Each structure stands twice: as structure tokens, then as C-alpha cells.
Amino acid sequence: MDAKSAEQSFPSRTGVVIIGGGIVGVTAALFLAERGVPVVLCEKGRIAGEQSSRNWGWIRKANRDERELPLMIESARLWSRIVSDLDSDIGYGVRGTTYLSETDADIARHQDWLDRTKHFQLDSTLLSAAETDSLIGQSGRRFKGALHTPSDATAEPALAVPAMARRAAALGATILDNCAVRLIERQAGRVSAVITERGEIACDAVILAGGVWSRTFLENLDLDLPQLAVKSSVMRTTPAPEFISGTLGAARASLRRRQDGGYTIARSGAAEFQLIPAAFHHFAAFLPIIRDRWRIMKIRAGSEFFGPLGSSRWKADETSPFERVRVMDPVPDRKLLDTVLGDAKALHPQLAGVSIAQTWGGLIDVMPDELPVIDSPPGWEGLTLATGLSGHGFGIGPGVGLMAAQRVLGERLLVDASSFALSRFSRKAAA
């Protein structure tokens, strides 16, 4: 829906308002529309303009936190169902995920994950060195083995979420791009309306699926969410031989075969932790992540301190940060990506002739335990938070979207939600 048509159809009332047009917000809108629930999705910029189109495109169960695995297993089923109803090819396919092991420590870590998750009865197996070579078209026994999950899938992020939004609209959802929500109004502790830059929409419930913007939005409502943003840098290559159809993970360089014949390549965990006022407030909660990744994580103090994710307050009749920055487009770390491409070529000789075709940066909404929040804050009946997917939200996004929709409707939840409760952070603080 373009801006003109959205303006003409601006609603004064609906059942549910969704804030954020990423994979969680869009799939929540899709599932509500399937149930015939009136729903309006408000996106400050464009659908999937930020991390939902900037991620790696992995849809994986492999190497998931076991607390998240039940939701990911259900999300994988949702992906296969959703794709069959879309109006275009989004590059989806079950192609497998393979985590390569360069050291004995890698093998031990993968075996530990298999042991801890065996009750899920996944198809993940530990490959030998010879089996790994056969899978990736090598013969030098460069790798000691690999964790291989044939049932994992991939898709093209830039195509997937817009196609899902079109499907939701075809089922009756109203999709408003370039329409920032400034505030939520309450009556007697219950959500009653949202105030957007175009006007007010009365509603019975709100789903906040704002990604890295969720904390900023909530702070203006005097609600605390220990969520911070880290910047990830990614590249796509020029066309190259297809030596793997799915994904390959390794400490120095991970990659996915793309629909256009190239590869998406990045380094897992090599993120830039941006210092903003909220970082100092939540620093203690994030210390375990920083300690674990200090060799590959940069901590940067710069203009972001005073940027849109920094400290700010606004009223219903004032311009919000979401209008000042419609699409967050951080500058990628080109020096890092040059190094990562060199490492990828060293690991995979089939990439010898490729070069970087495009680079981009994305901001990831990270929680201290790297698990999402799917919950309602106390005193805000009718408000559901669905955020903090922590860099692995593309695959799990449909499950989070469905659970958010189920919470709004009072349905039985897809999986046990106790690991995704907002109160888990207050419990840790009390302990």
C-alpha cells in the first residue's frame, strides 16, 4: 500500500493496532487477519526496512538455546504453511544448516548441544571430517567435523516480509507505512487508542513489535525494558559456484547461498555495542554477553549517544524520534567485512574469485539473555510486547507473531511462554 492510498483509508477505529512492520508485526497482522480480527499495522518507515530485511536469511533450529527450541520448531512449521499462500517466490527452501568444526573445542560444543536437545528429536547429527568434506566439496580434511541439520531452511529476507504483508492486506489487514505511532492512551489501566502522526486510532489492544525502537517507545511511557542495540555488518558477494545450497556456520565467517547466485557472508557475534544512555542503565545486565564476546565485539561511543535511540521524551502533538529517522541505516564496518571475506575464501576455496557486491549494517534488538519478550507490562492491560529477538528473529519471527496474536485474543499459546516473560528481569534484579 502506498502512502497516498494509506492516507485515504486511515481508520478511526480497529480491534488491534500493531506497531512495527518487521517480521513479528507483519506475521501477527497476518494471523489476526486470518481470524477475521480488524487489525491496523503502523510502520514508521517501510515494511521490513530495518533488521527484518538485513538479516542473514537463516531459518534454523540448529544451535538454538533450548529454551527457544519449542517455539522455533513451531515457527518452522508456520514458515512452510505461510510460504504456500504468498503471491511471489521469496527464495524459501529446506536446504540445511551446517556448523563447521575447526577445533576439538568446536566438536565438544556441538556434541554438548546435541546431548542437551536430544529430547526434541531433531534431525541434527555430528558429521565426521570425511562426511563434512563430502558435503561441502572439499578433500583436505580442513574441518574436524560439523553439526548438520538437514531440515533447516533459508529465505530471502528482503522478499519474505513484504510478501507476508501483502498477504495480510489481502485478508483484510490495514497496512500503513510512513505512519509512526507516538503514544498509547489508556482508560482505567487498559489500552484505548494510539496516537499516530496522522491522528488517533481507537482500539482494544496494541502489539508493540518495534525491534530496536521498542525500548525508546516504552521509556516515553515510563516503562522499563532492558533492551539494547548492537550493530551487525553483512555483505553479499558477486555470483560464485554453488558448493552448498543452504548455510555454513564457522567462527570466522558464516554464509548462505543466495537466490541471485552469490552468498550472504558475515561473522557471528562480531557486533558493535553502541554506548547510549540506556547502556549505562542496563550495563550490569549485559556484562555476561560482553565478557563472552569481548574479543569480537566493539564498544563504540559516538554520535549515537545523542541519536534517536538515546534519551528523549515527546508528547502526542510533538514529533517523535520515529518520524525523524524513518529507517535506521547504520554504516557497515567495511574493514571487518574485508577480513571476513578473506577468511571465507581461506575456509572455502570455491570462493576464490568472488568480490563484495554490497555491504550493509543492521541494528539488532538484544536482551540480556538473548531471548525475546512476549508479555504484557503490569498496569497496561491490552498491551503486548513482542520484541528483543536478539539476532536470531528471522526464523523464529512467525512463532513470536502468532504468540502475540494469541495473547491479544486470549487463545491458548503456541508454546510455554515462561522463558519470554518480562518479569524474568525483575526476578534477577531481586535475586
Domains of the chain: 3-96+151-430 (3.50.50.60), 97-150 (no CATH)
Alpha-carbon span 297 to 289, nearest angstrom: 9
Res 39 pLDDT > 60? yes
pLDDT tens-place string over residues 13-30? 999 999 999 999 999 999
CA 138: distance to chain centroid?
A: 33
pLDDT (0 to 100) of residue 294: 46
Helix or strand run (H / E) with residue 194: strand 190-196
In this prediction the pTM is: 0.92
Q: Which of 57-66, 165-174, 227-236 has the weakest average pLDDT?
A: 227-236
Tell me the three cell numbers of residue 113: 548441544
Mean of pLDDT values over 236-258? 97
Burial label for 210, CB within 10 Å (0-12, 13-18, 19+), is buried
pLDDT (0 to 100) of residue 209: 98
pLDDT tens-place string over residues 338-390? 999 999 999 999 999 999 999 999 999 989 999 999 999 999 999 999 999 99
b/e 343-366 (16+ beta carbons within 10 angstroms → b): bbbebbebbeebebeebbbbbbbb
Closest-CA residue to 180 (of 318, 312, 385, 340): 318
Tell me the three cell numbers of residue 160: 519474505
pLDDT tens-place string over residues 172-212? 999 999 999 999 999 999 999 999 999 999 999 999 999 99
Dihedral sign from CA coordinates of 161, 398, 31, 215? negative
The size of the chain, in residues, is 431
3-class state of residue 29 by DSSP = helix
Closest-CA residue to 180 (of 220, 156, 206, 210): 210
pLDDT (0 to 100) of residue 229: 85
Amino acid 34 reads E
Helices (H), 267-420: 277-281, 283-292, 321-324, 334-347, 393-409
